Structure 1
Amino acid sequence: VLCARMFFVFCIDPSLGRVDVHSLSEQTLIELLIDGVLNKEVITGNHDDITDIRTWASLGFDEENRIVSIDWSQQDVQGSLNLQWLPVKLQNLSAYENEFCGTLDFSSLPSALLEIQLQDNNFVGPINLCRLPRAMSVLILRENYLNGSLHLESLPSTMTILSFGGNSFHGCVSLMHLPKSLQRHSLSLNQLCGEVNLTQLPQQLEGLFLNENKFCGSLDLSQLPGKLRVLYLSFNNFSGEVDFSNLPESIDNLNVSHTLLSGTIVCTVANRPKYKV
């Protein structure tokens, strides 16, 4: 089986475009997916040959024996992932807290994919968010070495969690057209800059983390979402007078420390919110 797979890969002509993944077996797709993994035995459970994937506890199958979930988290896996070979029915990909490296190509992800969790790895390079599956709801990429700019204007409308913290993204970002369903959004610990508009955030948003960047300019906090509980703006270059009188009642954790902002915050003893200024 392994020899046949290698022969198949070597016969692919890049000039002919991408091979139709629908024509490949689940076994072949997984073998191609982990072709860049250095310690495959951690995933396969075998130091010699790649075993039948139906015996792998890390894979979840539907009633038609199509792979719908992959969980390779916290296994010290080393090497790269060829995301173009993800199984076509895959819904959940979890491979966080490993030693995965290389770039992330999101240009041809399965249309069924709902969640990607690749945090705490060594992925590098820019990412393209313009062609994510339209039903995707969770994308967690924090604590890697990703860089480049972030374009957040064309995200799937179903997105609920976005986590890009702890990378090296730079440039300006727009928060004006985020998905209406978004509940948690983290851009902390990057090198993002410029002004941010917080007047058109999604009404479902409960947590926004912009801390430890290079954002600047004034802030309008008068139209924050009614469900917002956590807002971290600390360690930025925001400046000017801020009207804190219209903060939503839901907010219980506000951090604007290590900025140049000024203003008066009224803290009620009954609710005991955690404000850090």
Structure 2
Amino acid sequence: HLRNNRFEGQIDFSMLPDTIETLEASENFLKGSVDLTKCPRSIQRIDLFTNRLSGTVTLNKSLNRLQHLFLGANQLHGTPDAKTFPVNIVLFSGADNKFHGEFPLSLLPKSLKVIQVQENMFDESLAVDLMSRRMEELSFFQNKFSGSLNLRKLPSCL
């Protein structure tokens, strides 16, 4: 674990060992974007919260072992592409960034149970009635969502 140090610079995911399962580099001074397209397929957990990441996030659908992705408390921007979320991801935490645009719940993998994207700038409508019935936690507060809200088909756990 590399957590809570003074590491700086960018992360080149292609340089990670082929057998790595966890990358824990939270609470540092890392910069740049998050490009998971060249991340080893062995990765199961990535913790990069509370850094100085400021670019975009490029996800990789083929990272079929990645279950937990923590990117909160950075300055990341853009719109995470729901179609490229890793197929078996369980938790996505992107809270306290500058993400914007639409967050299409219906396009996310069915494995996703926890979404934490509070304190961003998402500004489209939010179709909660189209999300997976397996969802356990949604944190969308302090964004700029608009439109009507259909609450009839919410999972019972919410």
What is the TM-score when the length of structure 1 is the normalising length? Answer: 0.54
Whether contact under 8 Å (1:129, 1:154) holds in the other structure is no
Distance 2:93 2:156 in 1: 21
Are positions 1:201 and 2:119 aligned together?
Answer: no
Whether contact under 8 Å (2:59, 2:86) holds in the other structure is no
Report the counterpart of residue 49 of structure 1 in structure 2.
Answer: none
CA-to-aligned-CA distance 1:65-101 (integer Å, 9 cap, x gap) = xxxxxxxxxxxxxxxxxxxxxxxxxxxxx11112222
| Superposition deviation, residue 139 in structure 1 | 0.6
Identity percentage of aligned residues: 28
In the alignment, which of 118, 125, 143 is matched to residue 218 of structure 1? 125
Whether contact under 8 Å (1:129, 1:155) holds in the other structure is no
Report the counterpart of residue 157 of structure 1 in structure 2.
Answer: 64
| Higher alpha-carbon Rg | 1
Are positions 1:229 and 2:136 aligned together?
Answer: yes
**Unpaired runs of 5+ in structure 2?**
none
Stretch of structure 1 that moved more, 239-248 or 168-177: 168-177
Whether contact under 8 Å (1:132, 1:155) holds in the other structure is no
| Superposition deviation, residue 108 in structure 1 | 2.1
Distance 2:79 2:29 in 1: 24
Are positions 1:190 and 2:105 aligned together?
Answer: no
Distance 2:32 2:86 in 1: 25
Q: CA 1:153 to 1:226, structure 2 compared with 1: closer, same or farther past 3 Å? A: same
Report the counterpart of residue 3 of structure 2 in structure 1.
Answer: 96
Q: Which has the higher contact order (CA 8 A, sep 6+)?
A: 2
Report the counterpart of residue 22 of structure 2 in structure 1.
Answer: 115
| Superposition deviation, residue 155 in structure 1 | 5.0
Could you say what secondary structure the match of 1:107 adopts?
Answer: helix
CA-to-aligned-CA distance 1:6-32 (integer Å, 9 cap, x gap) = xxxxxxxxxxxxxxxxxxxxxxxxxxx
Aligned ranges for residues 14-29 of structure 1 at < 5 Å?
A: none
CA-to-aligned-CA distance 1:29-74 (integer Å, 9 cap, x gap) = xxxxxxxxxxxxxxxxxxxxxxxxxxxxxxxxxxxxxxxxxxxxxx
Task: Indicate the RMSD between aligned Cα atoms, in angstroms.
Answer: 1.4
Are positions 1:171 and 2:78 aligned together?
Answer: yes
Could you say what secondary structure the match of 1:116 adopts?
Answer: strand
What is the TM-score when the length of structure 2 is the normalising length? Answer: 0.93
| Superposition deviation, residue 124 in structure 1 | 1.5
Distance 1:202 1:216 in 2: 22
Report the counterpart of residue 32 of structure 2 in structure 1.
Answer: 125
Could you say what secondary structure the match of 1:149 adopts?
Answer: strand
